[in-house]
Protein backbone atom coordinates (compact mmCIF):
# COMPACT_ATOMS: atom_id res chain seq x y z
CA UNK A 1 0.00 0.00 0.00
CA UNK A 2 1.67 3.19 -1.12
CA UNK A 3 0.48 5.98 1.16
CA UNK A 4 3.55 8.10 0.43
CA UNK A 5 2.62 8.44 -3.22
CA UNK A 6 0.34 11.20 -1.95
CA UNK A 7 3.26 13.14 -0.52
CA UNK A 8 5.12 15.84 -2.37
CA UNK A 9 6.96 14.65 -5.47
CA UNK A 10 10.33 15.33 -3.88
CA UNK A 11 9.92 12.69 -1.16
CA UNK A 12 12.91 10.65 -2.39
CA UNK A 13 15.17 13.71 -2.60
CA UNK A 14 14.04 14.81 0.85
CA UNK A 15 14.90 11.40 2.32
CA UNK A 16 18.32 11.36 0.63
CA UNK A 17 19.10 14.81 2.09
CA UNK A 18 17.71 13.97 5.55
CA UNK A 19 19.87 10.87 5.84
CA UNK A 20 22.93 12.43 4.20
CA UNK A 21 23.30 9.69 1.60
CA UNK A 22 23.74 11.83 -1.50
CA UNK A 23 27.04 10.07 -2.33
CA UNK A 24 25.58 6.56 -2.08
CA UNK A 25 24.68 4.48 -5.14
CA UNK A 26 21.27 4.89 -6.74
CA UNK A 27 20.44 1.34 -5.62
CA UNK A 28 21.27 2.15 -2.00
CA UNK A 29 19.20 5.33 -2.14
CA UNK A 30 16.25 3.52 -3.72
CA UNK A 31 16.45 0.80 -1.07
CA UNK A 32 16.38 3.27 1.82
CA UNK A 33 13.58 5.31 0.26
CA UNK A 34 11.56 2.15 -0.42
CA UNK A 35 12.02 0.80 3.09
CA UNK A 36 11.15 4.13 4.65
CA UNK A 37 8.06 4.48 2.44
CA UNK A 38 6.94 1.03 3.58
CA UNK A 39 7.50 1.97 7.23
CA UNK A 40 5.60 5.22 6.78
CA UNK A 41 2.66 3.45 5.14
CA UNK A 42 2.53 1.02 8.03
CA UNK A 43 2.77 3.81 10.59
CA UNK A 44 -0.03 5.79 8.90
CA UNK A 45 -2.30 2.75 8.84
CA UNK A 46 -1.50 1.90 12.46
CA UNK A 47 -2.17 5.42 13.69
CA UNK A 48 -5.33 5.68 11.57
CA UNK A 49 -6.62 2.48 13.16
CA UNK A 50 -6.56 4.25 16.52
CA UNK A 51 -8.90 6.95 15.21
CA UNK A 52 -11.72 4.87 13.77
CA UNK A 53 -14.59 3.30 15.70
CA UNK A 54 -14.32 -0.32 16.78
CA UNK A 55 -17.23 -1.34 14.58
CA UNK A 56 -15.32 -0.11 11.49
CA UNK A 57 -12.06 -1.95 12.27
CA UNK A 58 -12.82 -5.06 10.19
CA UNK A 59 -13.81 -2.99 7.17
CA UNK A 60 -10.70 -0.84 7.53
CA UNK A 61 -8.45 -3.89 7.90
CA UNK A 62 -9.80 -5.28 4.63
CA UNK A 63 -9.06 -1.99 2.86
CA UNK A 64 -5.60 -1.74 4.42
CA UNK A 65 -4.68 -5.17 3.07
CA UNK A 66 -5.40 -3.96 -0.46
CA UNK A 67 -3.59 -1.52 -2.69
CA UNK A 68 -6.21 1.19 -3.21
CA UNK A 69 -4.83 4.23 -1.36
CA UNK A 70 -7.71 6.37 -2.64
CA UNK A 71 -10.29 4.00 -1.11
CA UNK A 72 -8.49 4.17 2.22
CA UNK A 73 -8.40 7.94 2.10
CA UNK A 74 -12.14 8.07 1.32
CA UNK A 75 -12.87 5.65 4.16
CA UNK A 76 -10.84 7.69 6.64
CA UNK A 77 -12.23 11.09 5.60
CA UNK A 78 -14.91 11.21 8.34
CA UNK A 79 -12.34 10.31 11.00
CA UNK A 80 -9.28 12.18 9.69
CA UNK A 81 -10.58 15.24 7.83
CA UNK A 82 -7.16 16.46 6.66
CA UNK A 83 -5.62 13.15 5.66
CA UNK A 84 -2.70 14.73 3.79
CA UNK A 85 -1.62 16.66 6.89
CA UNK A 86 -1.98 13.47 8.91
CA UNK A 87 0.26 11.61 6.44
CA UNK A 88 2.84 14.43 6.45
CA UNK A 89 2.90 14.45 10.25
CA UNK A 90 3.35 10.68 10.48
CA UNK A 91 6.00 10.85 7.75
CA UNK A 92 7.97 13.39 9.75
CA UNK A 93 7.69 11.29 12.91
CA UNK A 94 8.82 8.12 11.13
CA UNK A 95 11.79 9.86 9.51
CA UNK A 96 12.87 11.21 12.89
CA UNK A 97 12.42 7.82 14.58
CA UNK A 98 14.39 6.07 11.86
CA UNK A 99 17.23 8.60 11.99
CA UNK A 100 17.41 8.35 15.78
CA UNK A 101 17.50 4.56 15.59
CA UNK A 102 20.18 4.51 12.91
CA UNK A 103 22.41 7.03 14.67
CA UNK A 104 21.92 5.32 18.03
CA UNK A 105 23.13 2.06 16.51
CA UNK A 106 26.10 3.75 14.87
CA UNK A 107 27.15 5.43 18.11
CA UNK A 108 26.82 2.30 20.27
CA UNK A 109 29.96 1.21 22.15
CA UNK A 110 32.32 -1.11 20.32
CA UNK A 111 30.97 -4.15 22.18
CA UNK A 112 29.37 -5.44 19.03
CA UNK A 113 25.92 -4.68 20.37
CA UNK A 114 23.90 -2.28 18.32
CA UNK A 115 26.47 -1.67 15.63
CA UNK A 116 25.46 -1.83 12.03
CA UNK A 117 27.41 -4.33 10.00
- When pLDDT is averaged across residues 17-23 and rounded to a whole number, the result is 89
Domain residues for the domain of 57 are 3-106
pTM of the model: 0.78
Mean pLDDT, rounded, of the chain: 85
Residue 116 in any domain: the answer is no
Going from the C-alpha of 19 to that of each of 16, 25, 103, 105, 112, the distances in angstroms are 5, 14, 10, 14, 23
22 located within any domain: yes
The answer to whether the Cα torsion of 70, 72, 6, 30 is positive or negative is negative
What local confidence, expressed as pLDDT, does residue 117 receive?
47
Instruction: Please give the tally of structural domains in the chain.
Output: 1
Q: What is the mean pLDDT of residues 12-29?
A: 89
81 in any annotated domain:
yes
Cβ atoms of 114 and 104 closer than 8 Å: yes
Instruction: Report the C-alpha dihedral over residues 27, 10, 50, 54, rounded to 10 degrees.
Output: -90
Asked whether residue 95 is domain-assigned, the answer is: yes
Is residue 93 in a domain? yes
Amino acid sequence: MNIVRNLAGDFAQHVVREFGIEAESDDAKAYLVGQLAENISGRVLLEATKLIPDEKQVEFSALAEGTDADAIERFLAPYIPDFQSFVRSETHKEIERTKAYMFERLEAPATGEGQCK
